[in-house]
Amino acid sequence: MLIPLLPAAEEILGASCTLGRSALPARLDEWTALVADATGRTALDDGIALDFANNPELAAGLARLAAEEYQCCSFFDFTIAVNAAGLRLEVRAPAHAQDALRTVFGAAA
């Protein structure tokens, strides 16, 4: 649960995100739960790539949450790849939204 991070998250995301303040903790918790399943993290020039085991339910969850996130944070660019290696979620953001990206998805290892 990210409640201790909530004031900082609200400050970082508040100016760019249109998700209501009351919905922010639940959304951050959803991302935290999904990102915890990542088997790998790779820094991208403008974002992060998260690798996951190939799991149809996880793929559906990533797609649903990415689509929901884009509705309130359209500065994020999401790409989901499914191949023999598993699932990969790439999240990119412009320079002004890099703090928001790290707040939601963490830093690459």
- Please write the tens of the pLDDT for every residue from 40-72: 999 999 999 999 999 999 999 999 999 998 888
- In terms of residue numbers, what domain contains 39? 3-105
Model-level pTM? 0.82
Q: In the prediction, which pLDDT does 20 show? A: 67
How high is the mean pLDDT of the chain? 84
- How many structural domains are present in the chain? 1
Q: In the prediction, which pLDDT does 74 show? A: 85
Q: In the prediction, which pLDDT does 7 show? A: 47
pLDDT > 90 in the chain, percent: 54
The strand pair at 47-52 and 86-92 is best described as antiparallel
Please report, for the domain that includes residue 54, its CATH number: 3.10.28
In the sheet with 77-83, reading across from the earlier edge strand, the strands are 40-44, 47-52, 86-92, 77-83
E-assigned strands of 13-84? Answer: 40-44, 47-52, 77-83
Q: In the prediction, which pLDDT does 97 show? A: 86
Cβ–Cβ contacts within 10 Å for residue 96, how many?
10
